[in-house]
Amino acid sequence: MKDETYDVVVVGAGPAGSVTAKTAADRGLDVLLIERNPEIGVPVKCAEGVSKEIEQFVEIDSRWICTDILGMITYGPDGTQVRLSVEGSEVVGYVLERRLFDKVLAQEAARAGAEVRVKTQAHRVIKEGGYVKGVQVTAGGEELCLYADVVVGADGVESRIGRWAGIDTTLPLVDTYICAQFLMCDIEVKRNYCEMFLGQEIAPKGYAWIFPKGTDSANVGVGIGGDVSGEPYRALDYLKAFVNAKFPDGKILAEIYGAVPLSGPIYDTVANGLILVGDAARHVQPITGGGILEAIQGGTIAGDVIAKAVREKNLSKRRLMEYEKRWRREFGKVLEVGLKTKNIVANMSDAELIKFLRPYAGDMILKEYSERAFLKELIKRNPKILFSLARVIF
């Protein structure tokens, strides 16, 4: 079996993995970024929406922007509309082309000096003396041992890298969205608005969405609570019903299925010689299921901490805990509030949802758009959740 040695091996070339690899390579480390699929960015398992906050972390490139988003419209079970926008009709976010976006992030990692390999499947971690020391992989039919000072698990929901290292990454169904999505064309959409639909008949313990990708195309999907999913009430069944009602003559170009973690962050995101990022660390906003921003933020922090730890030759969990402290400081509270809000809203009956949405009906105009600003406005307008959430976010 062939052996190779690096400072860092990153498993998974989604946004979190690529940004971690780029950051570590920028700081002079020898980095290998591996991806099990034959092509980075494929298959897409994402509604592809992201807030304008992304501009703080990456330079916007028109090649991977499908649509500028001016706001979000949420519909209650009775048709109540809540239209979220920003003063001055400014762009609040984008619908991305993830096939291109993910490739660009991996290219940036490569340009920074990281080596990138596809069709490379990890199947165990290498441990010595209580430390993760690398991963064993299969690539092109060949078994390889990739040794590293630090291994980064960017391998998604229920991370196997984390589990093999001794972290419990099991995700209960109650903390999961089971999702189905169609890329559709020949449909009438609101060109610059994302739409979300709530209701037990539409998406129990979840929501349906329409994210425009052009004048007559969109990602149309449904996410339902994992604990209510099962024959004959799967996410796909709800999606087909939603599409038949909204777009009976629309054309389906692609089908996407997957699971999204809604548990809030797992207890440990580090171990001796190991860091988890992105979905593997549960860095996903529970109230929306979005995680691109957190993936990029977390990856940037991880790459920086790893570089310092490698230079210091201290790869202990205690040293790598700087990563956990920093991400919790940067976006941990927003995830915590999102989780509390999700747990309240997801368990409401349709009658309770209608009552819940009434204080927000009409236009909700923010001075700026961010997850924190939105959650603050949500709390201020609804006394029901004010006292349980206010002390967390303010």
pLDDT for 264:
83
The DSSP annotation for 46-96 comes to S--EEEGGGGGTS---GGGEEEEE-EEEEE-TT--EEEEEETTS---EEEE
pLDDT for 87:
80
pLDDT for 391:
46
Among 145-154, 251-260, 343-352, 378-387, the range with the most confident prediction by mean pLDDT is 145-154
Instruction: Enter the DSSP assignment of 233.
Output: B
Q: How confident is the model at residue 393 (pLDDT cuts 50, 70, 90)?
A: very low
pLDDT for 367:
76
Please state which of the ranges 3-12, 155-164, 319-328 shows the lowest mean pLDDT: 155-164
Task: For residue 250, give the 3-state DSSP assignment.
Answer: coil
Task: Decide which of 18 and 365 is more confident.
Answer: 18
CATH of the domain spanning 2-44+99-171+264-340? 3.50.50.60
Q: Does residue 376 carry a pLDDT above 80?
A: no
Percent of the chain with pLDDT over 70: 95
Task: Over range 350-360, report the average pLDDT.
Answer: 88
pLDDT for 269:
96
pLDDT for 332:
92
Task: For residue 147, give the 3-state DSSP assignment.
Answer: strand
Percent of the chain with pLDDT over 90: 69
CB-count burial class (<10 Å; 0-12, 13-18, 19+) for 192: middle
Residues 250 and 234: beta-carbon distance below 8 Å? no
pLDDT for 86:
85
Over residues 144-186, the pLDDT tens digits come to 999 999 999 999 988 999 999 999 988 888 889 999 999 999 9
Instruction: Enter the DSSP assignment of 201.
Output: T
Over residues 80-127, the pLDDT tens digits come to 999 988 887 688 899 999 999 999 999 999 999 999 999 999 999 999
Task: Decide which of 57 and 371 is more confident.
Answer: 57
What is the radius of gyration, based on Cα positions, of the chain? Answer: 21
Q: How confident is the model at residue 338 (pLDDT cuts 50, 70, 90)?
A: confident
Residues 187 and 46: beta-carbon distance below 8 Å? no
pLDDT for 384:
57
Residues 258 and 45: beta-carbon distance below 8 Å? yes
Q: Does residue 392 carry a pLDDT above 60?
A: no
Indicate if the alpha-carbon torsion angle 328, 46, 104, 369 is positive or negative: negative
Task: Decide which of 37 and 365 is more confident.
Answer: 37
Residues 24 and 7: beta-carbon distance below 8 Å? yes
Q: Does residue 394 carry a pLDDT above 50?
A: no
Q: Does residue 133 carry a pLDDT above 90?
A: yes
What is the average pLDDT score of the chain? 91
In angstroms, the CA 143 to CA 136 distance is 7
Q: Is 362 left (phi over 0), alpha (psi -120 to 50) or beta?
A: left
Q: How confident is the model at residue 195 (pLDDT cuts 50, 70, 90)?
A: very high
pLDDT for 375:
67
